[in-house]
Amino acid sequence: MSLDHRLPDELEELRRTVEAFAHDVVAPQIGEYYEQHAFPYPIVREMGRMGLFGLPFPEEYGGMGGDYLALGIALEELARVDSSVAITLEAGVSLGAMPLYLFGTEEQKREWLPKLCTGEVLGAFGLTEPDGGSDAGGTRTTAVRDGDSWVINGSKCFITNSGTDLTGLVTVTAVTGRKPDGRPEISAIIVPSGTPGFTVAAPYSKVGWNASDTRELSFTDVRVPLANLVGEEGRGYAQFLRILDEGRIAIAALATGLAQGCVDESVKYARERHAFGKPIGSNQAIQFKLADMEMRAYTARLAWRDAASRMVRGERFKKEAALAKLYSSEIAVTNAREATQIHGGYGFMNEYPVARMWRDSKILEIGEGTSEVQRMLIARELGVG
């Protein structure tokens, strides 16, 4: 039996379409947004018109009828040029819309998904807290029943897409009760933007992803209807674990794109840059760096596509998602460092894309589960954790 890793025609067409969009639309203008720490509204709206935010959702909800493999392909092609744009799509789909699609009521889906799939509205997922970090089970935000409302108090940090002009809702995890053993029961609740008591802080000053929106959120006696509960009460922790498993595939695809973008830019530079009377690409030291960079990106692509394929087939994919996320994020950092080295002094200048890639790469080892957490998950899947 032979394995065929070629993409089906429809996915190859999607890849080419997003590749052209990234190079023709994103690349010429994203640098200015990045340096100004500004959200690229025209680019994001065009992504919405292309249907990218609806890729893995059924047509009945306004989606494109694709799957997570299609989403990953789009994320990889975008991240080859810019990660701020890619993470805006990833968070909008995996964290903003997917919880509603997987766990929401039919009424919630009908109300929100059509707008989320077209990019008319962006959603966010309020999970991480200032004192929590990787301990997402240590949620302190509370939601208490009061008549026909939930009353929410607490705060969240590092929340992507939470404060743009397009943001329509944040799905918030909160403690809604206690189990018999005293452990918290965590639920997920929709908080629409503009709800009284829901405060969105100014954007963070970040090392990278400077053209994406990331903020701290606070909730002071925020009232929303009981009907805003997403899924079963007390099942929010289990729900977000599934969301994170799937999101790791998306982050792995994004990281692969960044790693491949480092190869693309470095090959171009190695051909054009002359030193001592010849292109620097003629030096074996540079050739070996480029070969190793390509090897890493190639292997990372196989890893995330394998995890996505398992997910699409309905097979268990937790270990494969963690493996893909761990490997791709770490090689993205390595490729970004090597690309900067190949570019020399120019690699330290923000006018060159590799400088942006270098700044954007580190967060990939942290977001949606740190490298340490991925190793814990893999060990557990091996039966030793």
Kindly list the catalytic residues: 368
- CA 369 to CA 333: how far, in whole Å? 16
- Helix 83-90 and helix 41-50: axis angle, to 10°? 50
DSSP H helices, the chain, are 9-21, 27-35, 41-50, 68-79, 83-90, 98-103, 106-117, 236-272, 284-312, 318-343, 353-361, 371-381
Residues 6 or more apart whose CB falls under 8 angstroms from that of 381 comprise: 318, 319, 322
| 44 neighbors 166 (Cβ within 8 angstroms) | yes
C-alpha separations of 174 from 86, 98, 101, 144, 240 in Å: 28, 18, 19, 9, 12
CB neighbours of residue 127 within 10 Å: 24
**H/E/C letters for each residue in 258-325?**
HHHHHHHHHHHHHHHCEECCEEHHHCHHHHHHHHHHHHHHHHHHHHHHHHHHHHHCCCCCHHHHHHHH
C-alpha separations of 97 from 35, 53, 137, 171, 367 in Å: 29, 9, 22, 9, 18
Tokens of 369: 């589960």
Residue from 51, 120, 81 nearest 356 by CA? 81
Q: Is 21 helix (H, G, I), strand (E, B) or coil?
A: helix
Question: If you ran DSSP here, which 8-state letter would residue 235 be given?
Answer: B
- CA 151 to CA 111: how far, in whole Å? 22
